[in-house]
Amino acid sequence: MRLFWQIIILSIVGMTSCNNMSEAQGQKKANKLINESSPYLLQHAYNPVDWHPWGEEALKKAKDENKLLLVSVGYAACHWCHVMEHESFEDSTVAALMNEHFVSVKVDREERPDVDDIYMSAAQLVTGSGGWPLNAFALPDGRPIYAGTYYPKDQWMDMLNQFADLKNSDYDRLVRSADQLVSGISSLDDVIVTEVKEHRTEDVQTIAKTFLKQIDFKEGGRKGAPKFPMPNNYDYLLKYATLYDDASAMEAVGVTLDKMARGGIYDQAGGGFARYSVDDIWLVPHFEKMLYDNAQLISLYSDAYRLKNIPLYKHTIEQSLEFVQRELMDDQGRFYSSLDADSEGEEGKFYVWGAEDLDRIFPDALTRTVISDYYNFSSGGNWEHGNNILHITRTKLETAEKHNITLEQLDEMIASANASFLNERKSRVRPGLDDKILTSWNALMIKGLIDAYKALGTKEYLDLAIKGAHSLMNDQMQEDFRLLRNYKDGKASINAFLDDYALTIQAFLSLYEVTFDESWIHISKDLTDYTIAHFFNEDSKMFYFTSDIDPPLVARKTELNDNVIPGSNSTMARNLYKLGELLYNEEYSKMSHQMLSNMWESIESNGQPAYYSNWLQLHFDMVHPPYEIAVTGKDAIATAHEMMKTYRPNVVYLGDTKDSELPLLKYKYVDDQTMIYVCQNKTCKLPVTEITKAEELLK
C-alpha cells in the first residue's frame, strides 16, 4: 500500500502546476467555522475554502454529495499551518478546486486529539512520518485513504486534481486502500494481556543504560536536531539518578537543564520556553510557546532545584511563572493554550533584536557592552536577517570579571535590561494568543504551580493552583464527574478525553499532598471511577482515549506511548497505583500492575525508552515501593512542607489535622503534638517528632 502512494506522490511532484489564476477580489464571506470557539478554526473562518468543523453535518454532506472528505488538522501556534493557509487556503483558485471536489473539514488538534490521532496514524503508515499541518483525504464516512503534512501551493493543487480524478476513475481502489489503512490504524494499539510481572532492580538499570546512550552529554537533550525538551524524560532520569546514585544520569539531567535555561529556546528577557530548538545547541527555537511545555518544565526545574539548590533553576522557575501569569492566565486562574510563533507574518519577530535595538534601548555604554556580551549579541546577528536571539554562554562570574564589575552590579544590570527588553516589546505587534482553556493542559499547569510551591515555598503559587483547580471544576466538571475538554467565552462543548481525566486526577492528588485536604482525594476517586466506567477496555485491560458516550470514529484508539506530554494510559496507571496506596484499594493496584505488565514487552524490545518514561516511573514505584510519610497534629502541614523542600522521588505525603478518613492515618492524631510516621507497604515505624529523626528513618 505504501508503494502505491509513493508512486502517486512522485507523479504529483513531477507534474506541472495548474494554471495560476489571480486571486478573486471582493468582499470576504464567512464559512461554517465562524460559529466555532477555537481560535485556530476562527483563523480560517474567512478563507474562500468552504470549511466545515468536524462533525455529523460534514460527514452527511460528503455522503449526500458523493464527495471525498478533505480533513486538514493544525493548531493556532503552528507556523507551517499559517504558511499553508496563506499560500493555498486563502487563494481563490485553490479554494474553488477544493470546494468543487471535496467537503473540506478543519480540525483543531488541541481540541480534537482523537480525530488528529486517526489521521496522523494514517500519515505515519502511508509516508513513514507526520507533523502539522496534517492534510488527509478520506472517504465520505471518514475512513482515510491518504494523509501527509505541508504541501506548497502547486503541489497541493496537483494533489487535489489527482485525488479528484482517482475518485472518478478508480473509486474501488480508494476503498481498498481505506480498508487497509483502517486495519493498520486499529492494529497500532494492539495490546496482549500478559501475566502480571514481577519487576526487578536489574530491569531498571538495564533500561537506564539504554536511555543514557541516547543523551547528548555535551549539549543536553537527545542527540541530534531538532531538540525537544521532553520534560518527562528528565523526570525519569532525575529519579533514577537519585535512587541509584548514578553520576551519568545526574550529568544528563544537569547539562540538559543548564543548556536549555541558558539557550535561545528559553526567552531570556521574559521567561518561558519555546516548543523546541531547530538546531542541536538549543539556540534557535521554533518560537511558539505552549502551556503544556512550560507547565511540565516548571515542575522539572522545581524538582531539580529541590535536589541541587542551583540559583539558575530558581530563576527559571520564577521567571517562567511570571511569564505564565502575565501572558497565559485570565483573572479566574484559568490558563490559555499557547502563543503563536509568528507576528506580522514573520517567525520570531517579537522576540529577536538587532544591533540598533541595543543602541536605542541602552544608551549607557557600559550597560550596553555588558548586556551585549552576556546575551551574545553580534553586530551582524547570531540568527537570520541580522537579528540576535538572546542566549548565555558565559557564567555570571566570568562576565563580571571580564567587565570588572561585581556580581551584584551584574545582577542589577541584567534585571534592569530584561525589564527594558519587555518594555520595548510593548510597542511591537504581539504574537497571536490561543485563549481557549484545555482541561488537561490546565491540570499540568496546576501541578507545575504545586511543584514550584514545594520547591520555593511561595504561597502565591499554591493559591493560584487552588484557584485554577476550582475554576476547572466549576467550568468543566459535571455533577456525575464527567469532564468537558474545552472552555472559552463561557462555553464548554467537547466531551473530555482520557488525558483530561488522567492529568486532572494527577493534579488533584498533588493538591492533596500540599494541603492535606481530603476532598481532593475524594474527587480524584470519583473521577477515576467515572473513567473506569466509560473508558476502560475489559479485553485489553487498558483505557481507550475516547469515552463510550462519544460518537464513534473509524477506530477507537488507545494512547500507549509517552511523548511530549506523558501518555494518558501511563498517567492513569500511576494514578491508580497512588490511589490504591492511599485508599488501600486493591482493585486499583491490580489494574495498575496489569497495565504495566501489558506494556513491558514493548518497553524492553523497543530500544527507545524515551517513549515510555512515564511507564518507567511507575516501574520505579513497583521496584521500590514509596515511603509514606504521615504527619499528624496541629503543625502537620508546616512540618510536611519543610520536608518537601528536599527532593525525595519515592515519597508520598499524607497528613491529618484531625479526623482523617484515610486508613493509614487512623488513630494517629494526638492533640497538641505533631507526629511524623515513616511507613512503607502500609507498615509504619514508631513515630518521631523531629524532621531530622524522620530523615534518618528514611535512610
In a domain, 20, yes or no: yes
State how far the Cα of 476 lies from the Cα of 498, in Å rounded to an integer.
14
Q: Is the dihedral of CA 471, 302, 282, 405 positive or negative?
A: positive
State how far the Cα of 177 lies from the Cα of 208, in Å rounded to an integer.
41
Count of domains in the chain? 4
In a domain, 568, yes or no: yes
> Which of 121, 153, 187 represents a domain boundary (last residue)?
187
In sequence order, what are the beta bridge partners of 121? none
> Which of 386, 405, 425 represents a domain boundary (last residue)?
425
Q: Are residues 311 and 400 in the same domain?
A: no
Long-range contacts at 369-377 (CB < 8 A, ≥ 24 apart) = 369/403, 370/399, 370/403, 370/405, 370/410, 370/413, 371/413, 371/414, 371/417, 373/399, 373/402, 373/403, 374/399, 374/410, 374/414, 375/268, 377/353
Residues of the chain with pLDDT under 70: 1-27
Q: Are residues 357 and 337 in the same domain?
A: no
> Which of 571, 598, 623 represents a domain boundary (last residue)?
623
Q: Are residues 331 and 229 in the same domain?
A: yes
In a domain, 478, yes or no: yes
Look at residue 585 in the predicted model and tell me its pLDDT: 97
Look at residue 434 in the predicted model and tell me its pLDDT: 95
In a domain, 615, yes or no: yes
The b-or-e profile of 283-317 (16+ CB within 10 A means b, else e) is bbbbbbbbbbbbbbbbbbbbbbbbbeebebbbbbb
Domain around 375: 351-425
Q: Are residues 599 and 502 in the same domain?
A: yes
Q: Are residues 650 and 534 in the same domain?
A: no
Q: Are residues 43 and 58 in the same domain?
A: yes
Q: Are residues 331 and 356 in the same domain?
A: no
DSSP letters, 518-584, are THHHHHHHHHHHHHHHHHEETTTTEE-SS-TTSPP-SS-----S--SS--HHHHHHHHHHHHHHHHT
State how far the Cα of 542 lies from the Cα of 330, in Å rounded to an integer.
36
Q: Are residues 438 and 414 in the same domain?
A: no
Q: Are residues 36 and 115 in the same domain?
A: yes
State how far the Cα of 435 lies from the Cα of 437, in Å rounded to an integer.
6
Q: Are residues 128 and 264 in the same domain?
A: no
In a domain, 194, yes or no: no
Helices in 146-200 by DSSP H: which ranges?
A: 153-169, 171-187
In a domain, 438, yes or no: yes
Look at residue 322 in the predicted model and tell me its pLDDT: 98
In a domain, 196, yes or no: no
Q: Are residues 234 and 314 in the same domain?
A: yes
CATH number at residue 219: 1.50.10.10
Look at residue 667 in the predicted model and tell me its pLDDT: 86
CB atoms within 10 A of CB 217: 13
In a domain, 195, yes or no: no
In the Cβ-directed half-sphere of 102, how many Cα atoms lie within 13 Å?
Answer: 31
Look at residue 27 in the predicted model and tell me its pLDDT: 62
DSSP state of 516: -
CB atoms within 10 A of CB 479: 5
Report pTM: 0.93
Q: Is the dihedral of CA 201, 207, 211, 213 positive or negative?
A: positive
- Ramachandran assignment for 489, one of left (phi > 0), alpha (psi -120 to 50 degrees), beta (any other): left
Q: Are residues 180 and 241 in the same domain?
A: no
Terminal-to-terminal C-alpha distance of the chain:
58
